[in-house]
Structures are given as structure tokens and as C-alpha cells.
Amino acid sequence: MGDLGSVNLDRPRWDQSTYLGRAKHFFSVTNPLNLLYSSKELETAREIVERHRRHEPQEKPLTVDELWKAKTVYDSAYHPITGEKVFILGRMSAQVPCNMIVTGSMMVFYKTTPAVVFWQWVNQSFNALVNYCNRSDAAMPISQIASSYVIATTGAVGTAVALNRAVQGSTRKQLSILARRCSTGLRKVFYKFPSVRMPPIVGRFVPFAAVAAANCVNIPAMRKAELQDGIKVFDENNNVIGQSKVAAKEATISVVISRIIMAAPSMALTPIVMNSMEKKGIFKKSRFIAPLTGIGLTGIVLTFATPLACALFAQMAPIDVSKLEPEIQEKVKNKTQVLYYNKGL
């Protein structure tokens, strides 16, 4: 059965100091199959985890693997700091199936302004939900949530529409010099800039550019309270040492980077494949081929890109005490050189 007393559930099962260990952790966290657990199964997993943390005996004997299985189920539905159950669409295990539909649709329906506006709005609404549900730990009033959502969504939609129009109506400054002799014998020179459309594939990359720009607005906006008030920093024994704005800033930046990298493979590879298929006339055979292909390709890529991008940074990230606020440094003076914070997802 193994020694359950030696299992520390406050730390991931795999070594988080290595990329491979973090990748294994996030493959388990983002597994879409976690969405299939019933409320009863989630509650059972929560009870097992909490009993272990309180050093209380379990209702029935468990193996080490069974204990870690319960922790995986628990992590898939409950916030790591607050312990609150996360809304199902806001869970990291919902990232792949939801983004498969939303991102895939953005890659297919990008040619008209109404379609661009609708799918960017859906995408940023979903991102806002995920960002809020997976924030570090700071509570946010409804008014702040609403204002942050409006700012982020408006920015994303505006960026997408502007880029889309720029691509569709773009001009190359090709200089044509037309000379005409006048009655005075002088020559007048006219400069003409003919409108030239960019290649179709350029338009397919507009959604990614909009998503990348929007992430730089959406995530900080939804974490405004954390950036203003700081997030909790812990010692190696999970004791809260204080609130740090420095850690909050570092956490926000790391999430922005990982989200952009997460979107890059599906939103870069899919346009290339889709454009190639379009040139071959494959999409003319049926109107359903394009959307199904776009959504399917996006889903396959996201299955791997999501956990691998999340693994770029540890969820419980270490930070040197020397980087933190003076009051926190004073609290742990000569005790430790590293503290930890939950960066969120």
C-alpha cells in the first residue's frame, strides 16, 4: 500500500524543477476527461484530500496511487488556494474542448466583420471566465469584473476588426510615375498607389494577432486586484508569509507569455494547412469540410500545446526573497532564500 504519511499533497506529484515534471503535472490537470467526473466523485476526492491533510484516517484503505488519483480529481475542479469549486467551463480541463471550438471557428470564419466580431467576443468572454476562475487568490467585486471584461473584450474585438480591415484593404506603396507634357512644356509628375490585396493566408493569421494582443490586456485586467494588493507568498511548509505585488506582477507576466505560446501552434499551423487545402479546392466539395477541418486540427494541436505551454512555468512558482518587498524580506531574514506563490493559470 505504501506509506501515505510521506505523501505531501501540497506539492505536485512530479518534480516541478524540471520541464518534464511540470509537463506531466499539467497533462493531468488539463486532461479533458476530468470533466466527466460527477459531483459525487468530486466530493469524494475532496474528502480524501482534506482527510489526508488533517492527518485523519481514510474511510477505507488507499494505495499511494489511489491517493494521488484523488488529488488529480480534486485539482481538476477546485481552486488550489481558496478550495472553492471552479465553474465547469472555467476549469483548465475545459481548455482543450472549449478552445477547440472557439479557436477553430475563429480560424474558419474570419472573412466578414460580423463573424470576426462574434467569435472574438466569444473567445474573450471565455478567456475572461478562465482568467477569473484561475486567478491566484484575490477576490474581485462584481463592478471590477465587469469593467475588466468590457476593457478586455472591446480591445480584442477592436484589434481583430482593425487588423482584418487592414489586411483586406491593404495597399503596397508601389510607385507609378506618370509623366504628361503640358502646354507650357513642363512635365507634371503624378504618383499613383494602386490597391493591392494581401495573400489570403495573411488574413488567416489575423485571429492570432488579435488573440496575442488581447491576452496582454485581458489577463492583467482580470487580475487588477492582485496587481494592486499583491498575492500570497508561502514558505516551503505552505505557511503564508505575506502579500507581494512583485510576485503578482511576475505571475501575471508568466501567464500572459504561456497563454500566447499556448495559442501559437494551433493558430499558426492551422492557417497553413487550411490555406493549402483551400488552394486544392478541397473545401468546395462540401461546406462542412472547412469548419470541421479547422476545429479538428485545432483540437489535436491544443491537446498537446495546452499542457506544454502551461509547463513553461511552475504553478507554485519559486521567487528569490531578495526580489520581494522589504517587509517580507525582514520576516524571513536568515531563514530562507526562496518563497513560493501560486501564479494561477
pLDDT tens digits for range 87-106: 999 898 898 899 889 888 88
DSSP 8-state code for residue 278? H
Distance between the two ends of the chain, CA-based, in angstroms? 33
Taking the CB of residue 173, how many other CB atoms lie within 10 A of it? 8
Question: Does residue 303 sit in the same domain as residue 197?
Answer: yes
What the block records as the C-alpha cell of 262 is 499556448
Question: Does residue 242 sit in the same domain as residue 333?
Answer: yes
**Per-residue pLDDT for 76 more than 60?**
yes
Helices 245-279 and 206-222, packing angle to 10 deg: 160
Contact 304, 93 (CB under 8 A): no
DSSP strands (E only) in the chain: 176-181, 187-192, 231-234, 240-244, 316-320, 338-342
Would you put residue 192 in left (φ > 0), alpha (ψ -120 to 50) or beta? beta
Question: Does residue 40 sit in the same domain as residue 97?
Answer: no
Task: Choose one of 78, 104, 123: the last residue of a domain.
Answer: 78
What the block records as the C-alpha cell of 261 is 505560446
Decide: helix, strand or coil at residue 186.
Answer: coil
Question: Does residue 103 sit in the same domain as residue 47?
Answer: no
Cα–Cα distances in Å, from 54 out to 9, 47, 179? Answer: 11, 10, 89
**Mean per-residue pLDDT for 20-42?**
92
| Dihedral of alpha carbons 325, 220, 103, 75, sign | positive
Residues 291-344 pLDDT 10s: 888 888 888 988 999 899 989 988 888 999 889 999 998 888 878 889 999 887
**Mean per-residue pLDDT for 71-94?**
88
Question: Does residue 62 sit in the same domain as residue 89?
Answer: no
pLDDT bracket for residue 172 (50, 70, 90): very low
Q: Which of 17, 14, 126, 142 is nearest to 75 (CA)?
A: 14
What amino acid is encoded at 64 in this protein? Answer: V
Question: Does residue 13 sit in the same domain as residue 106?
Answer: no
**Per-residue pLDDT for 269 more than 90?**
no
pLDDT bracket for residue 171 (50, 70, 90): very low
Say what the pLDDT of residue 235 is: 87
**Per-residue pLDDT for 174 more than 70?**
no
Distance (Å, whole) CA 198 – CA 129: 35
Least confident among 49-53, 217-221, 247-251: 217-221
Question: Does residue 68 sit in the same domain as residue 157?
Answer: no
**Per-residue pLDDT for 193 more than 50?**
no
Residue-number span of the structural domain to which 52 is assigned: 1-78
Question: Does residue 166 sit in the same domain as residue 275?
Answer: yes
Question: Does residue 35 sit in the same domain as residue 146?
Answer: no
The partner residues of 176 in beta bridges, in order of sequence, read 192
Question: Does residue 61 sit in the same domain as residue 180?
Answer: no
How many domains, the chain? 2
Task: Choose one of 78, 93, 116: the last residue of a domain.
Answer: 78
Question: Does residue 191 sit in the same domain as residue 269?
Answer: yes
Question: Does residue 92 sit in the same domain as residue 189?
Answer: yes
Rounded to two decimals, what is the model's pTM?
Answer: 0.73
Say what the pLDDT of residue 197 is: 55
User: Could you identify the residue written with the cell 506618370?
Assistant: 178
**Per-residue pLDDT for 262 more than 70?**
yes
Task: Choose one of 78, 99, 121: the last residue of a domain.
Answer: 78
Distance (Å, whole) CA 307 – CA 93: 10
